[in-house]
Structure 1
Amino acid sequence: MGFHRERMLSHLPPGEVREKMARIIDLAELCRRSSKQQVTDFLEPFLLKTAMDILRGLDDVSVLDDGGYPEAERKRLVLLPGEWELPDSRSCWLMGEVRGEVDKIGHRDYLGSLLGLGIRREKMGDLKLTKKGCAVLVDRDVAAYVEAHWNQVQRFPLSVRLGDGDEKPDFIEKGEEKSVTVASLRFDAIVAAIWHLSRSKADEAISRGLLRVNGLETSDGSRMASVKDILSLRGFGRAILREIGGPTKKGRIRITIWQPVDR
């Protein structure tokens, strides 16, 4: 007997998220029927959590996540029949080394050049900066194509090699930790404080669909934020909510954020 697909999806409204979860349930069913491992695309944090909640407790299918390193934002699910002990996420690291002024190239430049090759974002995990360029976790099926064709970023030549075995890239983190105070933990209040916008400008940006939280477009500024939320405001950048402190003397809330710097 198969999984109760519609019942598992009943709490999700029609739309992109429900469609993606339906495909993941179908993969789990294929895993159960074929007794063969299945692997999802790379998922953003919100989709990953939603999928894990749906699949938790399934009979005959074990679920693991893998993003190449424990703190990864983008991960894929490995679906295993029973208690299979040798999971394979079918992912590998590609190391890009710039022959030029590496400090002039940022995350968006590397990602843009990859997308320009026709590689879908879902086939890539995290892309991280390194001292010599960048490292990106990719689906093994596209690794050879990327290695052969990803030879330039901006105007600079790029050499790419496949990571050796269990080699882990040596990431560098460019960013700044900041402490700001907000009137509340609503997304509109936090967006206004982080990017120095008026509340009305923050509301306008959110209502226009410019805000993504944990990878999901969010148009409701009244929703409340939580620790580890990843906020991305199109045209402004990203911020990670690292800590929520106590109230200040004026009754505001102190929060700590991390803002990556692209260069």
Structure 2
Amino acid sequence: MESIIQHFRRDEQPFIEMVIGWTREVEDTYAPKLTGFLDPRQIFILGSIVRSSGLQFEVHGVFTEPERQRALIYPEYYEPVPEDFQVTVLSMKYPAKFMSLEHRDILGSLMALGIDRSKFGDIRLEEGIAQFAAAEEMKDYLKTNLTSIGKSKVRVEELSSSEALIIMAETWKEELHTISSLRLDTLVASLVNCPRQKAASLIQNDKVKVNHVVRNQQAFEVNESDILSVRGSGRFKVISIEGRTRKDKIRLLIGKLE
């Protein structure tokens, strides 16, 4: 376990301790443990720790190719079913001719209700319809209290069995990048094809996010499963670290959202 934990970042330690607590709970009770919605990096960390403890896990986020998902940690004897994940999909219809909704509008309204981010998952939009995944226990509260997005009134309803889930046509183009270190400024320079000095400026001016969090330290180290957003240049994800070259450079397989 220690050999695995040492590879994670210091600021990830609270989450690591939480995962270790979950695994111990499963070991002690011999019963499954359901988490809140996790981002890809958190799922990567959870998977590393759970596998090292001899337990198993599955994730579920309802939508096709979801980003945020709930995880179920369970002992070997257990066979999970979809109902174990306690995820519901809530839907809102809005007059697209008179208003436009963006992901950040819905996210902001949910956060304004004081709801923890772990209680809801992906948000999907198409013209006139918005859908988002939520923990089952939040369903009634959201239907009652989420009555407006910005200045527009909305009505939240549970998605009926006859309604289709919104499918996002996301395409990630794979690229191989060779860099001298895992420093954030080094990777950003490679991703957007700019001098390292300009990459440093982007980072210092809060234009770079890692896993949805602004990172303004140039020396911050990226790792597998990280998702990067560079303002004006798009989104990227570190799919895997492919090893080193003969000149000791690091080879990364990167996904770029097209």
**Fold in common (TM above 0.5):** yes
Q: Deviations over 1:120-178 (max 9, x none)?
A: 112111111133231111111222111111111122211111123696512355x8989
Residue in 2 aligned with 1:11?
Answer: 6
Alignment root-mean-square deviation, CA: 4.0
Residue in 1 aligned with 2:256?
Answer: 257
TM superposition shift of 1:95: 0.9
Residue in 1 aligned with 2:69?
Answer: 75
Q: Which amino acid aligns with 1:21?
A: I
Residue in 2 aligned with 1:66?
Answer: 60
TM superposition shift of 1:118: 0.8
Q: Which amino acid aligns with 2:107?
A: L
TM superposition shift of 1:86: 3.2
Alpha-carbon distance in 2 for matches of 1:9, 1:44: 19
Q: Give the 3 Å change call, closer, same or farther, for CA 206–138 of structure 1 in structure 2.
A: same
Q: How many equivalent residue pairs?
A: 241
Out of 37, 43, 47, the position equivalent to 1:48 is: 43
Query: TM-score, normalized by length of structure 1?
Result: 0.72
Q: Give the 3 Å change call, closer, same or farther, for CA 33–48 of structure 1 in structure 2.
A: same
2:158 is the counterpart of 1:159: no
Q: Deviations over 1:41-76 (max 9, x none)?
A: 2111112111101111433x3211112135111122
Alpha-carbon distance in 2 for matches of 1:31, 1:165: 33
Out of 206, 211, 214, the position equivalent to 2:208 is: 211
Structure 2 counterpart SS, 1:40: strand
Out of 99, 109, 116, the position equivalent to 2:105 is: 109
Structure 1: 5+ residue stretches without partners: 244-254
Residue in 2 aligned with 1:232?
Answer: 229
Residue in 1 aligned with 2:24?
Answer: 29
Structure 2: 5+ residue stretches without partners: 240-253
Alpha-carbon distance in 2 for matches of 1:97, 1:10: 44
Q: Which amino acid aligns with 2:23?
A: A
Q: Which moved more, 1:186-195 or 1:151-160?
A: 186-195
Q: Which amino acid aligns with 2:19?
A: I
Residue in 1 aligned with 2:87?
Answer: 91
Q: Deviations over 1:61-101 (max 9, x none)?
A: 32111121351111221012333123411211111212454
Q: Give the 3 Å change call, closer, same or farther, for CA 44–35 of structure 1 in structure 2.
A: same
Q: Which amino acid aligns with 1:23?
A: M
Alpha-carbon distance in 2 for matches of 1:168, 1:90: 19
Q: Percent identity?
A: 21
Residue 4 of structure 2 contacts residue 48 of structure 2 at CA under 8 Å; is this kept in 1?
no
Q: Which amino acid aligns with 1:22?
A: E
Q: Give the 3 Å change call, closer, same or farther, for CA 11–102 of structure 1 in structure 2.
A: farther
Structure 1 counterpart SS, 2:121: strand
Residue 42 of structure 1 contacts residue 75 of structure 1 at CA under 8 Å; is this kept in 2?
yes
